[in-house]
Structure 1
Amino acid sequence: MTRPADIVPFNIGETVASYCSRVAAACGYENGRKFATQHGFRFQGLAVGNEDDLGEFASLLGASRESLSRGVVLTKDRITSLSGVEFSYSMAHRRRLRFCPACVLRDEEQGSGRRGHRAYGRMEWLAGPIRVCREHGFMLVELKPHPSPDLAHDFASKLAFEREIIPSLAETAFQMEPDSLQGFVESRMRSGPNGNSWLDAFPIYVVVRLCETVGAVARYGIGVRHSEVSDEGWSECAGTGFDILRGGEKDFKEFLVGLLERFYETASDMGGPSLFGPIYRMLADKSSGDAFEPIREIMRDVVLSEIPLGPGNEFFGPVTERRVHSVYSASRDFRIQPARLRSVLIRSGIVDEAASDRTFNRILVPVETMESVAAEINSALSFKDTAVRLGLDRSKLSSVIECGVLRTFEAATAAKHGSNVNLTVLTTATFRVGDVDDLLRRLDTLPTVQPSSALLPIGPTARKTNSKNGDIIRILLDGGLREVARVPDEVGFASVRLDPNEVRELTKGEDHGCYSFREVQMTIPVSNPVLHSLIEGGHIATVERMNPSKHFMQVVVEPDELERFMRKYVSLNSLAGQQRMTTQSLEARFRRHGIQPAFIASGKKFYSWESVAPAFA
């Protein structure tokens, strides 16, 4: 009696169901199910890896159960194991006839066994991620499922219905290169995981879904829809995704961060689909299962490090910690105006100037930093409270700020970054508690003398010495004053008493050495109207210098300028006095010599020395 194994051989890479199907066809049976029933086992049992049915079939073949192991397809809980590699139900293409037409034709021409039954179904043809016949470079053909339920998993019977069109399918087959993910899947099916890749730690269906989805987002953006991508396109997506992920968890995180950076250039909300599109939807789907949990953990880690989520938010479950704050989230948590918070962050150099053009929920700061900044803002003293604490009235506090003795909160934060701040609206400013207390500590460490009637408070001392309150306080805190007293019934700087004479000497500026208008009048000499006319006419140049005693800018005449004028010009009155002549007689002499005034200032005639010389030769 001829054994079934002698009719057609069990090929390497063939599934047990394909082999049984070919044996049945070669023995003249209508399909594999009838053959199996006739011999006491279930064909469906072979297709899903039932041990009893596999044992019965092995006995029929006169072979051991182990000899069939390489072709067993095991299906359990919607997971199909092909060569020991787990695929999801949708990735195992078992209902449709899927094959390489060139391989089928070659099987019939060159294969062994009974003719007409040599073509066999490969295990790898069932794996969805394997899209291309690596030997012929053809995309696998996938035909519509046969309507008869009796032909499910029956390779030989279904192939018999399509035998006439196979040559034309081989001629028109689409040529393409296998993608890199296909190579990874083939390697896993043939030799198992090698442990050299991060992806080896995951079931193959996790790797495939992740690579295809990541690749689709990388190539088409987060708005990509499954139906918009062709079969060839999915191969490209699979390869792109695998190339991104083959580097490991670090490269996957960098890809996710890149998506978040692009997100921040849009006006979308911060929901998972807006951040990651189909990647998020795939993982949020309950059907994806626990095997995807490590991927969710990675995404959750990236999101919490880059997006201002905190307790009360959801991302693959409730969020229990916060790692970053946005200006918007911090403004709500700490009750601070978002514009003020953003301003402080920019002035502190924590965020760059470009943040002023971004919305509040797109300016991110690590949570520890944001909490520290918010605590400083909320603990800052108002202008009024600062004045009371320092024992200063509003005008004195403003002077102290303008002189640089105390910086506003805004100026103090800007100083860290080397920025400037506008001090024009001081009464709305706030101050850091530490800066205010530091001033008071410096004041308390100064040596003091007993109060006396000669010592005055800071305000009267400033008025008596024409000094600024801030300048006096700066000199005081620097330890430049010997006569300093404190009265017990006042606080802060209100308790200070100073010697005006000592303050005057220390605040007196350097003598500028120029002539005041009064000194110029006495030197030339001229009246006040004439001097102003000379200045307005440009005959005497003036400059501005700080008055050393009164501390204000004063218009004066430099010595060299006055000397130049007097060497070049002389008034008619001055010259008449020098010559012991009346002005009328002197003018008559000038007329006889044809001498004219150089200019007239406020009715007074001035001549150049050079022009009048001939009259006295």
Structure 2
Amino acid sequence: MTRLPLTVPLHADETPMSFVSRLGARHGVPMAKLCSDFGLSFRGVVNGDAGTLRRAARLAGADPDVLLDAAFVLSGSNLWSRRGTLLHRTVLRRERIAICPACALGDVAAEPKLRPIAAIYGRACWLLAPVRTCHLHRIPLTVVEKVDRPQRTHDFAWHSALLVPRLQEHVAAAVPRDPGALETYVLGRLEGKAVSPLLDPMPLASAVRLCETAGAVALSGPKVDIKALSADERLAAGGRGCEAITAGPEAFRALLADLMSQAAARRRMDGPSVAFGRLNDLLQLTGGEEAFDVPREILRDFVVANMPIAAGRKILGRVVGPRRLHTVHTLAQAHNVHRKTLRKHLKAAGLLADRHAAFSDHNVRIEAKAGSKIARQLEGTLSKAAAMEMINIPRAQMDVLVKAGLIIPQRSMDRFAAHDRYAIRDLERFMARLTARAVPAPAKDKRFRQIPTVAKICCCSAAEVVRLVLRGKVRTQINRYRYGYQGVHVELSGVRKAVRRPDTGGLSMRRAARAIGTSDLVLEALIAGGQVASFVGANPVNRCPQKLVARKEVARFKAKYVSLWRLSKQRRTHIATLKERLDRAGIKPAFDPDTVGARFYLLRQVKPRPRGR
């Protein structure tokens, strides 16, 4: 193969893509054009093909072993290897180029005879996505903006040319920073250094993902949006996670304990997502990947040992055995015991200390076997679902009666931040009062209906109907085919009479409009214009507020005005003919027809005069 007349020096840490791109820049052609002209496979250069790189080295008179040593070799679908380290595409910059502006200025100064774009070379570490800092100059790498020109994707010299005019500006604006633990670890892995018994056996991409996720949760909380992190935030997260995990499994457990202690003191700690959030999500979603087996097992064991996980529940793909821990909340639920009472008995048994008084019921953890022994002695209340079943009441009706104070929970949700519980004796007392005056119902007595049906027909609340029953204001019957609340039938007419409100003395908009002899829309316009007065009153049936017009107001308006429509009916004249006659007589409407939407006239102007005058 003919050797090129012009060449560039090959550096030990330079990528083949950078070297071939600089060769092209030395001859004033793009990387793809150089490869095409000299029979080199562009893809072979990008994917580290050994034969292609040897021909490129001979073409430039460079050492092929140096070029091969720095290559990222395609080793499978989305996988590359360098010096024996397997790298997934997620930890590589394949479509964007990162450059240290200070290193670039140093390259230009070191090769004054070359054009800047031919002098600046791409370091292998710049292709690693987790590396965002120059370890030599301690400043952030500058990532060249992505351009929509696929043929230039891997052309390093072409990308560096976009930064050359502003290299000094980037160096001046750069804020010095520490590369962080994760970047240092990644570069060490690339050099074959073994430093972490937990991370080293994992593929580099998996180790980076674990560190960044754990660090993000530690810095920003369990619900942190990993994808929304900026480059600086991801750098900080990766460094924090790597520092905490590198030492090995025990260090990872210490991090988990720290994350658990950071959770709000009164949050229910009944699953790994509460404290570990995105970290738990990561290990859950990667259940089929062996790379995460060790950290997944560590997290699973930690959760089972330190959280109140029920037996049979699946945690990170594995079913949990017998429960080890209870909280006051789970123990109370398991035995239908009021938690306040449960706390007193647990304290008397020595299972709770004084300091637990400040803890949420969800965060007071108790040894399961000892706690269950105490709770079995305290059973006696029902959950809302069980209480509804006991008295045969639908949920909607139960909620109405609870809100009205007719059924009172033994433990209030607002006060205890948990689900209400109802004493059996209170429910029995309520049903006894509800059925105290009821008589057996004869077959098919349509005068009596169920409480929800009566409330709907009478446009009132079921709580009002129940109060009438409890006060003995209406007659009741017991349906032999139903039990409990739904078996109580109430006299419809009695409830209707009791809940009806007195008439307000006004007409509805529809009735007022018909009385005046116009439409609803015209009446609305008359009210808006002040020609008709209205007021808001309660409907006597459904008690909803509605706009009304007093009967006196309707009479007043009709005594003073008449619509063209009603006048035409009175005179038995076509409305258009009558309008023409009124116009010829110079009689104008009392209100602007365009505003009101109809024609009204003063009655005294259109009323015929008596004969003989």
TMscore range, shorter length: 0.5 to 0.7
One-letter code aligned to 2:91? M
RMSD of aligned Cα (Å): 3.4
CA distance in 1, matches of 2:105, 2:263: 51
Matched, 1:259 2:249: no
Residue matched to 2:184: 183
Deviation at 1:361, TM superposition (A): 3.4
In structure 1, distance between residues paired with 2:104 and 2:303: 50
What is the correspondence of 1:32-71 to structure 2 with a 5 Å cutoff? 32-58=31-57, 60=59, 66-71=65-70
**Is the alpha carbon distance of 1:44 and 1:371 closer, same or farther for their aligned partners in structure 2, counting shifts above 3 Å?**
same
Partner of 2:353: 352
Give the alignment of 1:262-281 within 5 angstroms: 262-263=262-263, 265-268=265-268, 270-281=270-281
The answer as to 2:372 corresponding to 1:371 is no
SS of aligned partner of 2:19: helix
* Cα contact 2:269–2:308 (8 A) shared by 1: no
The DSSP-based 3-state class of the residue aligned with 2:214 is helix
Structure 1 position 4, deviation (Å): 4.4
Q: Secondary structure at the match of 2:315?
A: coil
Taking a change above 3 Å as real, the CA distance of residues 47 and 5 of structure 1, as seen in their structure-2 partners, is: farther
Does the 8 A contact of 2:215 with 2:242 survive in 1?
A: yes
Count of paired positions: 377
Deviation digits for residues 153-197 of structure 1, max 9, x if unmatched? 11012223443233332332332222122222222223x123565
Q: How does 1:5-44 map onto structure 2 within 5 Å? A: 7-29=7-29, 31-44=30-43
Cα deviation per residue 1:447-477 (whole Å; 9 max; x = unaligned)?
xxxxxxxxxxxxxxxxxxxxxxxxxxxxxxx
The alpha-carbon distance between structure 1 residues 4 and 122, as it changes in their structure 2 partners (threshold 3 A), is farther
Which position in structure 2 is the counterpart of 1:132? 133
Unaligned runs of 5+ in 1: 381-617
Does the Cα contact within 8 Å between 1:146 and 1:158 map onto a contact in 2?
Answer: no
Asked if structure 2 preserves the Cα contact closer than 8 Å seen for 1:211 and 1:242, the reply is yes
Query: SS in structure 2 opposite 1:201?
Result: coil
The 2-side partners of 1:139 and 1:65 are apart by 32
Following TM superposition, by how much is the alpha carbon of 1:38 offset from its aligned partner in structure 2, in angstroms? Answer: 3.0
State the 1:279 CA deviation. Answer: 1.8
CA separation in 2, counterparts of 1:169 and 1:86?
33
Residue type of the partner of 1:169?
Answer: H
The Cα of 1:99 is off from its aligned counterpart by 0.3
Matches within 5 A, 1:91-170: 91-111=91-111, 114-116=114-116, 117-170=118-171
Task: Provide Cα deviations, 1:520-572, integer angstroms capped at 9, x if missing partner.
Answer: xxxxxxxxxxxxxxxxxxxxxxxxxxxxxxxxxxxxxxxxxxxxxxxxxxxxx
> Which moves more between the two structures, 258-267 or 55-64?
55-64
**Counterpart position of 1:538:** none
Shift of 1:371: 2.1
SS in 1 for 2:310: coil
TM-score, length of structure 2 as denominator length: 0.55
Identity %: 27
Q: Distance in 1 between matches of 2:157 and 2:28?
A: 12
Q: Which residue does 1:298 correspond to in 2? A: 298
Query: Unaligned stretches of 5+ in structure 2?
Result: 379-613
Task: Kindly indicate whether the alpha-carbon contact (under 8 Å) linking 2:265 and 2:363 is maintained by their aligned counterparts in 1.
Answer: no
AA in 2 matched with 1:12: A
2: distance between equivalents of 1:180 and 1:78? 26
**How far apart, in 2, do the equivalents of 1:215 and 1:223 lie?**
12
Displacement after TM superposition at 1:82 (Å): 4.5
Deviations 1:401-446 (A, max 9, x none): xxxxxxxxxxxxxxxxxxxxxxxxxxxxxxxxxxxxxxxxxxxxxx
Whole-angstrom CA distance in 2 between matches of 1:315 and 1:197 = 24
Q: 1:194 to 1:335 in 2, by over 3 A?
A: same
- CA shift at 1:199, angstroms? 2.9
Q: CA deviation at 1:74?
A: 2.8
1:34, CA displacement in angstroms? 2.4
Deviations 1:222-264 (A, max 9, x none): 2433466443333333322222223322122122122223336
1:85/1:51 CA distance change after superposition, 3 Å: same
Checking the alignment, whether the CA contact within 8 Å between 1:83 and 1:123 is kept in structure 2 is: no
CA contact (8 A) 1:18 1:120 kept: yes
Residue correspondence of structure 1 range 412-427 to structure 2 within 5 A: none
Whether contact under 8 Å (2:202, 2:291) holds in the other structure is: yes
Alignment of 1:279-294 (within 5 A): 279-286=279-286, 289-294=289-294
Look up the equivalent residue of 1:291 and give its one-letter code. A
What amino acid is aligned across from residue 205 of structure 1 in structure 2? A
Alignment of structure 1 residues 64-83 onto 2, 5 Å: 66-75=65-74, 76-83=76-83
Alignment map for 1:206-217 (pairs within 5 Å): 206-217=206-217
Measured in 2, the distance between the counterparts of 1:5 and 1:280 equals: 59
Taking structure 1 as the reference length, the TM-score comes to 0.54
Distance 1:176 1:6 in 2: 39
Q: State the shift of 1:314 in Å.
A: 3.3
Q: Measure the CA separation in 2 of the matches of 1:288 and 1:168.
A: 47
1:334 deviates by 6.1
Deviations 1:320-370 (A, max 9, x none): 32332334434555676655654443222233234355444322234xxx2
1:28 Cα offset (Å) = 3.5
The residue correspondences of 1:303-452 to structure 2 (distance < 5 A) are: 303-321=303-321, 322-331=323-332, 341-366=342-367, 370-375=368-373, 378=376
Matched residue SS, 1:194: coil
Q: Quickly say closer, same or farther: Cα 1:82–1:274, change in 2 above 3 A.
A: farther
Q: Sort the Cα spacing of 1:77 and 1:2 in 2 relative to 1 into closer, same or farther, 3 A.
A: closer
Give the drift of 1:59.
5.4
